[in-house]
Structure 1
Amino acid sequence: MAVKEEAELYEPVKRYFEAQGYEVKGEVLHCDLVAIKPGALADDALAIEEEVIIVEMKRTFNLALLLQGVERLRMNPLVTLVVERNRKKSGAVNQRFGDITELCRMLGLGLMTVSLFKTKPALVEMLCEPGDPPRARYRAKRHDRLLREFRERSGDYNVGGSTRRKLMTAYREKCLRMADALRQGPASPATLARLTSNSKAGDMLRTNYYGWFERAERGIYRLTAQGTAALTEHAEVIAGWLVQENAVSVAGTGSSAEASASETASDYASKPKKKSRKKKPEKI
């Protein structure tokens, strides 16, 4: 049941905090709801400081609610955001509550959802408490995969932010290199692995993810019509490889020439110099 105004969320949230021993009041210094749990006396007769929670409510989670929560953190360390959780397909169920919860954890905010029903009491769910530590952790495997994907691409062939377009991934580029090698004729996986410096050429040929390859005979593969079309479609990428290879070869030739020149100079410098003999004056 979708709410029409955020004020409809107030009563369920108020009952939730009152059931936990909080005193609740609405619209306190522009805060939608403020819940305070009175301080108690411990065994050592020392007063425990009262707990204060500021609550901000919106019909759906949006940037305005998030910024409002961050602003409230300047007033109080414990802040909880509340949104409706509409279980209809067209409602807020499509929101990514897992990611939103993690975002709130990173900012030190709490997150609560309220589901309203026509014939039964509202369901209040606390997805994270204010001050909960974030659960997201650095994962070395994902980091290594990112670096490997970056390094195995020979160039920047994609436009960042584009959608519904074929991406030139490292895997696609490896398949394209094999297709370019098969342009000369059928070949074995071992030959393609040597020509393309791809140790997984055999597995990629058997998987045939893009449908570019087919078995001509036992242990020999050739291009399909789709593979030939891919060579035409990605002609610019293949041309870029040739430019890179030429640049590398030129750089290698230059470095070898410089090395030989330096070796010649060093050899010349290391050779012992012959002493010059003075000519005797001729007798007249």
Structure 2
Amino acid sequence: MPIQTETELYTPIKQYFEERGYTVRGEVKHCDLVAIRGDEPPVIVELKKSFNIPLLVQGIDRLRLTQEVYVAFELPNKGRAPHRLAWEDIRRLCRMLGLGVMTVQFYKRKKPAVDVVCEPIPYTLRHNKRASQQVIHEFHERSGDYNVGGSTQQKLMTAYREKSLHCAYLMRELGPLSPRKLRELTGNKDVSSLLQKNFYHWYVRQSRGIYHITPLGEKALTEYAHVIASIPKNETNMPDTFVTIT
């Protein structure tokens, strides 16, 4: 039976890269899956239920960020290439575009099988180094993998949201705090801007230079309790404090 959503491809492909020493995150700067190993360039995988033109367009767009781009989809019924093509046709097309191809085959009683149809080859399109660095920066700023690749119309756990939660958590545990104190506790040099913009309305300025958590902030800590629980704690005497997010 065909998969219902492209998100079902995420876990098997994530495991495939993790078994090869990569760290994987989902939904990083609009990329379905990003895998990084050491100082190597990022690997980006775009996911779709089936092989189609929008998938290829997405893959081509990601070539601005890295040469290591794959398009991935469910292996069609009986292993046949999609659209009545031969697999060699698919390989030739994607090689000309500079894209790699991955498929996932699902079974009833055993784990899905991931197959690399072809590897990406260098492409002559000039990379957008700034955009690539933004992907890498966002990847490393996150403390864990809280999104499922391929998700749509859902709130994503970004590095900015994590840092905002960190501040809200400290306010709840320690009471009203100043930007300076929050900067010391979090290691976030941009904490003043975060408090002033107050994008999520999680804070209120009680007095000059002193901020406290709002009911919306309390609600967010409950909603994202799984994020707070999974972040490693530091070694200070503060109760259940986040590890420093820089």
TM-score by length of structure 2 reads 0.46
Q: Between Structure 1 and Structure 2, which shows a larger proportion of helix residues?
A: 1
**Taking CA–CA contacts closer than 8 Å with sequence separation of 6 or more, which of the two structures ends up with the larger relative contact order?**
2
Q: What TM-score do you get using the length of structure 1 for normalisation? A: 0.40
